Amino acid sequence: NYISSIGGDTFGMDNDDLTDIPKNVSTVIDLLEDKGISWGEYEVDMPSTGYTGFHFLNPQTHANMYVRKHNPAVSYVINQTPARLANMKNTTLFYEDLKNNALPQWMFITPNMTSDGHDSSITVAGEWAHSFVTPLLTNPNFMQNTLLLITFDETETYTVKNNVLGILLGDAIPATLKGTKDNNFYDHY
């Protein structure tokens, strides 16, 4: 959970509320832009580029497809610049950017609520990840000194310590580290 106090106001990221992080809070986007590193987010089933709504429902089933809580940058780029909002796109544009060799240097890619396992199962999430990632591992427009981190944001049970698996793939991994395991503790920072 992320809790911060700024100017006497406290806000938290320990819920599903529609949260806007104040502009004076430094974020990973600020760090990337300060270093001249291009960035983008690709969200499965996000209805439009720069969408700032709470969620987007399947028109037939009314199930959650896109949810804002799985799009971290929207909480701290909203009410800022149109250029930043333009970096948050539907995954269909990922494939267009991939084809045109126009992917940003840093990307955050999120499946929809079914494909990420929240509204389905680990099997469904694994099948989505496999079908999405496998073709990328041999795509020369994607594999250009690339490090790919696959992870989940929480365990199934909220009452136990949150231990999640992180899998690193890509051609940026030194050959001596491929197939190894690291049991060190890491957090989102």
Q: Which residues are catalytic?
A: 119
Which backbone phi and psi does 122 adopt, to 5 degrees? -65, -30
Measured distance CA(172)–CA(51) in Å, rounded: 32
Measured distance CA(39)–CA(45) in Å, rounded: 19
| Pairing mode, strands 9-12 and 88-90 | unpaired
3-class state of residue 167 by DSSP: strand
40 neighbors 86 (Cβ within 8 angstroms): no
CA-nearest of 71, 64, 42, 39 to 132 is 42
CA-nearest of 52, 115, 114, 136 to 88 is 52
Measured distance CA(127)–CA(18) in Å, rounded: 30
